[in-house]
Chain A
């Protein structure tokens, strides 16, 4: 897909989000039970909001389509590091209960430091481990939050 097409699609983020949410809610709310006559049921508020949001989404879609694309061809692309960070967060949520809090947190911070451009491996690892231990102390010891132990800890 050409860059201009991606950018065009990107400008439609809001309207597409609103139209999708509106359609999804309207479709799901149809199955909600009806309330006795004269009394609003569980579908009333979502349906009213879905209709209003759909209308707003349509107007915004037309506005966005008519807009000229912003000239930011020379702006550095952050798509790759952005996707790496999102993947790292998802990986953290998946691995923390299995590997344990300290090891997963240290690994996560280490990856983040690399993404943000810190390339000193040894110092980065030490900082990541130290931060994981500090947070473990605050949350698990001080605040009594039961953090996962996992295989490694």
Chain B
């Protein structure tokens, strides 16, 4: 990187229009991400047409701001209402919402904001310094490695969800079965459609997520429940020194996990968040209260999912390959504005390349600032009448499910998953394995079958490839560790 290129990049980034676009993008992203049913992908996709009249840099700054804001914004509703605005925020629900119910919503939001910034900085530094190495490593992944990665993700979540490994495993298998609905990924044969064309692309994930979390939560609200206490008005919730000290290592480690997962094409912020949460929970120390308001349980997913944003940009900027669905939309925006992301981006448009990196870093800093300054307004919402809140969440959930594809079938999916989620929680079945199975199922099946086609039916292919063998060994170890833990806890819980 030459001095001139850096100066040109700073000059591009420093223009009032670009700075304004980052600010507007972050604010819009925070709001949209907080609305259940409106994912970061949807927000970026819907707002791409608004950038047609802009120059390349303001347009990208706006979209990057929305991306960063929306990924964090989803956690606001996850913490305050147990309603993750984005799939990635689902991992924050357990501890974030528990802390909120303990009367500390401001603390939960400030820890989330701090961890998100740590993850964002780590991810962006990795993007700047390690992009070629990480992208090169991810390029080695073939079908066996992707299949092993999916198995690892599932094994981790099964091993830490709920007291019963059998119940967690059964619900993960059920989720994997649901993930086979739709067109077969290899032959295109339609499976388990039951006459519904809307299921051709599989069970729509966002409506299912809205049902499992938002609608199920409202149905549970019928049993009563105390009014959630709001924090004192007028106070800005800065993270405390003790919380920073307690979360620093978890956030740093999760930031590294998030960057690595995000840079692996196909593995988005949702997988990063769940994986980091699982790792943090596996390494819990005596006194840690994961699942019951532990700040490390907020820090891990928040840092990981924010870091995964930068991670996802590694293959996007260096190879032209999208790391997740949002960066897939961003590629479209690049091309609309006449820029082809890939190995030549930094050689031919170094100023724009480095200005993008600067915009990502700026967006993370602004998300932290707005999240901290806005927390005092957000926590007031929690203290409003619970009857209004539950009614509004239910309506918002149904509209959010519809808004995704303007399809009423998605509303029915949300309702069905809402009832399912309610019954699952009532009978102590964890929701997280079902959710992750829905995300990882298609990836696991497609890569399992591709691997078997390549190996002419031999399952040994997974052990012959060193990377997949190591990942599968880690998966087996996580299950063995969970079995051992359960055995020690006593047979009653099994």
Binding site for B on A (CB under 8 A): 10-11, 13-14, 17-18, 21-22, 25, 28-29, 32-33, 35, 38-42, 44-46, 49-50, 52-53, 56-57, 59-60, 63, 76, 78, 81-82, 85-86, 89-90, 92-93, 96-97, 101, 105, 108-109, 112-113, 115-118, 127-128, 131-132, 135, 138-139, 143-147
Contacts and interface: CB of A to CB of B under 8 A. Distances in A.
Contacts of A86: 219, 415, 419
Contacts of A49: 173, 176-177, 180
B418 interface: yes
Contacts of A17: 174
Nearest to B453: A39
Contact of B191 (A21, A46, A50, A52): A46
A35 B187 contact: yes
Contact of B399 (A53, A56, A118, A139): A139
25 contacts: A14-B429, A18-B170, A18-B173, A25-B177, A35-B187, A42-B186, A45-B176, A57-B170, A60-B167, A81-B222, A82-B422, A89-B398, A89-B418, A96-B408, A105-B399, A108-B395, A112-B394, A113-B391, A116-B387, A117-B387, A131-B391, A138-B35, A139-B403, A143-B32, A145-B402
A21 B174 contact: yes
Interface string B377-403: 000000001111011101110110011
Nearest to A117: B387
Given A46-B191, A109-B395, A89 B390 contact: no
Contacts of B386: 116
A56 B167 CA distance: 8
Given A32-B191, A92-B411, A135-B399, 14 more contacts: A29-B191, A33-B187, A40-B457, A46-B191, A53-B174, A56-B173, A78-B223, A85-B219, A86-B219, A105-B395, A128-B391, A143-B38, A143-B403, A145-B406
Contacts of A101: 399
A82 B219 contact: yes
A116 B452 contact: no
B interface residue count range (under 10 / 10 to 19 / 20 to 34 / 35 or more): 35 or more
B464 interface: no
B448 interface: yes
B423 A135 contact: no
B346 interface: no
Interface of B: 32, 35, 38, 46, 166-167, 169-171, 173-174, 176-177, 180, 184, 186-187, 189, 191-192, 215, 218-219, 221-224, 385-388, 390-392, 394-396, 398-399, 402-403, 406, 408, 411-412, 415, 418-419, 422-424, 426-427, 429, 445, 448-449, 452-453, 456-457
B123 to A, nearest CB: 28
A128 B388 CA distance: 9
Contact of A53 (B170, B219, B427, B452): B170
Contacts of A41: 187
A128 B476 CA distance: 52
A interface, over-half SS: helix
Contacts of A146: 406
A116 B392 CA distance: 12
B187 A52 contact: no
Given A49-B173, A56-B173, A105-B399, A28 B192 contact: yes
Given A109-B392, A135-B395, A138-B35, A76 B223 contact: yes
Contacts of B449: 40, 44-45
A105 B156 CA distance: 41
A101 B180 CA distance: 33
Given A45-B180, A53-B177, A138-B35, A60 B395 contact: no
A112 B391 contact: yes
Nearest to B221: A116
A78 B445 CA distance: 40
Given A14-B167, A28-B192, A38 B457 contact: yes
B391 A18 contact: no
B189 A42 contact: yes
A44 to B, nearest CB: 7
Contacts of A145: 402-403, 406
Contact of A85 (B38, B218, B385, B402): B218
